[in-house]
Amino acid sequence: MIPEFGLDGNLPEGIHTAAASDFFDRFASSSARRRWLGDRLRELLTLARASGKLERVFVWGSFVTSKESPHDIDLLLLMRPDFEMEEAPQRCRGVFEHASARMTFQADVFWAKSSIGEETLHHWLEAYQRGRNFQRRGIIEVVLG
């Protein structure tokens, strides 16, 4: 379940899980900008899944706040240990190239192999929970069906 926003417009700190349908209902429907970004994110995730190697997805930043018009989407794609970008279908590769993903999807895409381990992942997710003002905020793990 996705918790309510705090008074600052952020989710409470921590990693909150949500089914993809709940995630998109909550964050990609309340304004034209959110619908447009949601469509970009759906397309991005479709391509990442087409690689056959996507394990987990984490989203943070303005897209998972109460802002009516979020700037962009910030996300981490955790891929299987045997993922090799060069072996992914050509149509999928732009998702994993930062500049291409930024231009095509209005998203800052970070990715890693799950072989980084839970400790390293934990440290990364701790860092992503800090906003520009260094206040802690929540992030969402999107559970893909």
Q: What is the pLDDT of residues 92-130, one digit of tens each?
A: 999 999 999 999 999 999 999 999 999 999 999 999 999
Q: Output the domain CATH number for residue 123.
A: 3.30.460
Q: Are β-strands 138-143 and 54-60 bridged in parallel, bridged antiparallel, or unpaired? A: antiparallel
Our count of domains for the chain comes to: 1
Residue 12: closest CA among 73, 82, 90, 64: 64
pLDDT number for residue 132 = 80
Q: pLDDT (tens digit, 9 = 90+) per residue, 17-60? A: 999 999 999 999 999 999 999 999 999 999 999 999 999 999 99
Cβ neighbour number for residue 25 with a 10 Å cutoff:
14
Residue at 5 is within a domain: no
Q: Which domain holds residue 40?
A: 16-143
